Structure 1
Amino acid sequence: MGERILLVEDAPQLGAQIVEHLRGAGFEPAWWREGRVLAPGELPDVSLVVLDLMLPGTYGLDMLKSLRAFSEVPVLILSARNDTLDKVRALKLGADDYLTKPFWPEELIERVRARLRRPALQKPDAVVELGPLRLDLASHEVQVHGQPVELTRVEFALLAALARRPREAVTRQWLVDHVMDPEREGTERTLDVHVSRLRRKLGARHGVETVWGVGYRLVPGDGT
């Protein structure tokens, strides 16, 4: 069989059709019928995720957001929602493509192939090292000078977002949109609380700097 693809789709007939077409194109599909918030280690070893938005269990964009906290696997959104705002939000949260229902099976297969032709652009290093700071994006482990630092889910997602762009200012609104849970904690004030806690845990030499009027940036320590 070919590359493994995870399909998340609750409609029985449509899901069965997509699975059939994926297999016919030489792929190996796995099919989930409901959404779920994913943690590291819960995502199967797949090369691509095909994700519906309107799902039982967990809304598709919430599933995408949890996935992006630890993985850069390509994600193709399937949705009957054709609103531009939905598409923009999905892309901002890390989706790689957006296909509106109904669609031709041939188009879906070609979009899948297009995503898989560019794997190098989708998979950054699993470990980020910045001075004495070390982040394992797969296991969610953080170390400073070789000593483990215990972070919450949001603190790790915040640190990972800044670590991918070291010394670069990231706006507070971008961090709210991509790191926080919009239903429970999606405010800049709550973001500031998480930043304060993260600073205490990392220590003054290896922390997060405020860029006034913009947001935050991660400036690695000098190793001392």
Structure 2
Amino acid sequence: MGERILLIEDDPQLGAQIADFLGRAGFEPVWWKEGRALHPGEAEAYGLIILDLMLPGTYGMDILRGLREGSEVPVLVLSARNDTSDKVRALRLGADDYMTKPFWPEELVERVRARLRRPVMQRQEQVELGALRVDLQAREVLVHGKPVELTRVEFNLLAALARRPGAAVTRQWLVDNVLDPEREGTERTLDVHVSRLRRKLGPGKHIETVWGIGYRLGGGGGDA
């Protein structure tokens, strides 16, 4: 069996269908038929959580809020509500994806696979790799103990990589989640920001190119 997937869905027909498709796709589904508090430590047993919002027991948004107090396990929200406000609220609470009912189970499975291929964000406030230190809360960067002045976009780019140290982050993800889509949301612009950021960080392979994929934060050893 592959990754364990927690499915929280009260609709018996839909839940059975989703669990069946997940099982046939090689996952190990665990199905809860009502909402209840999910402690962060308990959530770590799963690779991903599929969460319906309108549940008997504990409301889905409340489950998500409590989960994000201590866990970064990916959450894919299901809902019959198509209101933009609901989608925005779920994403702000920490959902990784949002699907509106009805949907094709095949698409759900592919979204699960796609999310599991992405690196999981880390929650620590400081990241140190070699001579590089990034304080995510204070928005400060030090190289060999000396502060480095970065623009807002440059810091956000570095922070996105720092939350996934050693993992490759795709260029498209960085474009969609770091750059302003209306002003600078292109891969070419991303490359310009990376080039400037590398110059400011100085010698050392702090930001490595992963050919055909994107970038990752390295250990800072060797030449740039």
Shorter-chain TM-score tier: 0.5 to 0.7
Unaligned 5+ runs, structure 1? 131-163, 169-224
SS at match of 1:49: strand
Residues 1:167 and 2:149 are matched in the alignment: no
Structure 2 CA distance for aligned equivalents of residues 165 and 123 of structure 1: 12
How many angstroms does 1:36 deviate by?
Answer: 1.5
Structure 2 CA distance for aligned equivalents of residues 165 and 52 of structure 1: 32
**Partner amino acid for 1:37?**
A
Structure 2 CA distance for aligned equivalents of residues 128 and 86 of structure 1: 29
Counterpart of 1:32? 32
Percent of aligned pairs sharing the same letter: 67
How many angstroms does 1:34 deviate by?
Answer: 1.2
Asked which structure has the greater RCO (Cα within 8 Å, sep 6+), the reply is 1
Counterpart of 2:167? none
How many angstroms does 1:166 deviate by?
Answer: 2.0
Structure 2 CA distance for aligned equivalents of residues 123 and 36 of structure 1: 25
SS at match of 2:51: strand
How many angstroms does 1:41 deviate by?
Answer: 2.9
Counterpart of 2:184? none
How many angstroms does 1:37 deviate by?
Answer: 2.0
Distance 1:11 1:107, change over 3 A: same
How many angstroms does 1:105 deviate by?
Answer: 1.1
**Partner amino acid for 1:48?**
L
Structure 2 CA distance for aligned equivalents of residues 29 and 106 of structure 1: 15
**1:102-128 per-position Cα deviation (integer Å, ceiling 9, x unaligned):** 00111111111110110x2x2416x66
Counterpart of 2:95? 95
Counterpart of 1:187? none
Residues 1:77 and 2:77 are matched in the alignment: yes
Residues 4-19 of structure 1 mapped to structure 2, 5 A cutoff: 4-19=4-19
Residues 1:124 and 2:95 are matched in the alignment: no
Structure 2 CA distance for aligned equivalents of residues 83 and 98 of structure 1: 11
Q: If the length of structure 2 is used for normalisation, what is the TM-score?
A: 0.56
Structure 2 CA distance for aligned equivalents of residues 129 and 105 of structure 1: 39
Unaligned 5+ runs, structure 2? 128-134, 140-224
Counterpart of 2:183? none
Structure 2 CA distance for aligned equivalents of residues 106 and 40 of structure 1: 28
Distance 1:83 1:27, change over 3 A: same
Distance 1:104 1:89, change over 3 A: same
Residues 189-200 of structure 1 mapped to structure 2, 5 A cutoff: none
Counterpart of 1:57? 57
SS at match of 1:99: strand
Q: If the length of structure 1 is used for normalisation, what is the TM-score?
A: 0.56
SS at match of 2:14: helix
